[in-house]
Amino acid sequence: MPALVEQVGGALLAAAGDPSQLLPARQMMAFTLGFHIVLVPFGVAFTFLMLIANYRGLRRGDDEALLLARRWSQVAGVLFAVGAVSGTVLSFELGLLWPGLMGRFGAAFGIPFAVEGLFFFLEAIFVAIYLYGWNRMRAWAHFWSGVPIVLAGIGGTWSVVAANGWMNQPAGFRLRDGQVVDVRPLGVLLNGAFWHEAVHMLLAAYMVAGFTVAGVYAVGMLRGRKDRYHRLGLAISFTVAAVCAPLQILVGDLAAREVFQEQPAKFAAMELVPATHTHVPLLLGGFMADGEPHWGIEIPWGASILAGESPSTRIVGLDAIPADVRPADRIVTTVHLSFDVMVSLGFLLLGLSLWWGLCWWRRRRMPQSRLFLRCTAVSGALALVALWAGWVVTEVGRQPWTVVGFLLTRDAVTTAGNVWPFFAATVALYVAVAYGTFLALRLLRRRWRAADEHPGEPDAREVDVPYGPSRAREAASAENRA
């Protein structure tokens, strides 16, 4: 999705006088970010769902909850390994594709990534302990070994978001003769965009993970598997996502107001505002052409009310942006439509969450109609599209800047070599990684299904590692050797 968005009007870059490597560099970055961002919610939030199931199993003696926790931990282990691969590629791309950014601003921009590296290694250590600790540690000690996984995932995500926030609202340094000096690490990390971006991303991660996992169990229930195991898997994951949905709407509103105050060019693109004035309508859909919006559905005064809670709120339009750094019409259209997609899907998921909450409030049970299950089955995909759209707003909405006010994207990109072959190699690598991930997860599913069909076999419902030999097979092998 992000890569497709970046392609809109991309062929015109060369005609605009941009460096020859800008188009492939942006395409490559968009593709790898779009792939990696799919894995982030599972590193951040899926492990939290795992701990909820583990806690419930220990507190209530619930074997089904413990089984869910163990199986989810195996999936988390696979996805963590895949995320490590895709994240490593991204770290190399920053240096290879954007030497203007890293060479000039690395002393400040690199701080959040150094912090993220510490969280990554902490998370990796405890992922290994938690996976290996099943039936080898005391139950509660094993549970508490999973808590640092969740905390490190949150810390790592917030570190990366701090880097993105810094690019939108640079802080914590001074320039002297074009060089970064007097870097203040906390100023870099806690920049003006950090808090609303960090909370917004965290809630988005929990929604994506929650709705996606709930969708898996909803599909199972649609196929007739309405046992307690599937109902519990759906209930835990959907409840987390449903709690986050209204909070996300509130945080999103606050974030939009922050963008209005601190990033006027981005807000003007989000709302398709060509000229500075008050009583600005809210446009649903539409596009920008020749500096004017077309075909949008207007809600009178809506944008002004969204920005400042009053129709008389004055919104800075695109005409106030200097012509040499004013975003092109295609960029404005991309940002506006992505913002509309994100908000629309957010409200759809809120409606689904309210449906769940109403049924639980009235009947103390989750809805099980086929319509609800069908909606839940696709909710994970909708949440992921909303996440992609939100990152398009953040990244494309900053253009033509890489570091707003300090470094243009065309000045940050590499001018050496040819990026297209590296882009093709990256796509091939990611296709191979995705296929390997699919095979590993399918093997896990087959083991689980076989275990459910033969529950009487010793330890049939448990395996020691995600795709190692079962303990029953190991025992049989030992007997044969004897």
**pLDDT value of residue 15:** 36
Q: C-alpha dihedral over 379, 383, 386, 391, to 10 degrees?
A: -160
Q: How far apart are CA 180 and CA 111, in angstroms?
A: 13
Q: What pLDDT is stored for residue 360 in this prediction? A: 85
pLDDT tens-digit readout, 327-355: 999 999 999 999 999 999 999 999 999 99
What is the pLDDT, as a whole number, of residue 363?
A: 81
**DSSP labels, 183-245:** --HHHHHT-TTHHHHHHHHHHHHHHHHHHHHHHHHHHHHHTT--SHHHHHHHHHHHHHHHHHH
What is the β-pairing status of strands 174-176 and 292-294?
Answer: unpaired
Count Cα atoms within 13 angstroms, Cβ side, for 367: 19
pLDDT at 336: 95
Q: What's the distance, CA 111 to chain centroid?
A: 21
- In this prediction, residue 454 carries a pLDDT of 67
CA distance 152 to 428: 30
**Residue 399 to residue 11: CA distance in whole angstroms:** 16
Please list the alpha-helical segments (H only) found in 98-190.
99-133, 139-168, 185-189
| Residues 6+ away with beta carbon under 8 Å from 320 | 264, 276
pLDDT given at position 251: 96
Which phi and psi (to 5°) does residue 220 adopt? -60, -40
Tell which phi-psi region holds residue 176, choosing left (phi > 0), alpha (psi between -120 and 50) or beta: beta
Q: How far apart are CA 404 and CA 475, in angstroms?
A: 62
Asked if 318 and 273 count as a contact pair (C-beta separation under 8 A), the reply is: yes
| pLDDT value at residue 88 | 85
Confirm if 101 and 403 have CB atoms less than 8 A apart: yes
Q: Are 218 and 373 in contact (CB under 8 A)?
A: yes
Packed helices 63-97 and 419-453: angle between N→C axes, nearest 10 degrees: 170
| pLDDT for the residue numbered 406 | 94
301-314, pLDDT tens digit by residue? Answer: 989 998 888 899 99
pLDDT, position 460: 41
pLDDT at 463: 43
State which residues of the chain have pLDDT below 50: 1-17, 458-476, 478, 481-482
Instruction: With beta carbons less than 8 A apart as the criterion, state whether 293 and 287 touch.
Output: yes
Instruction: Look up residue 284 and give its amino acid.
Output: L
Q: What's the count of helices (H) and strands (E) in the chain, helices before strands?
A: 16, 8
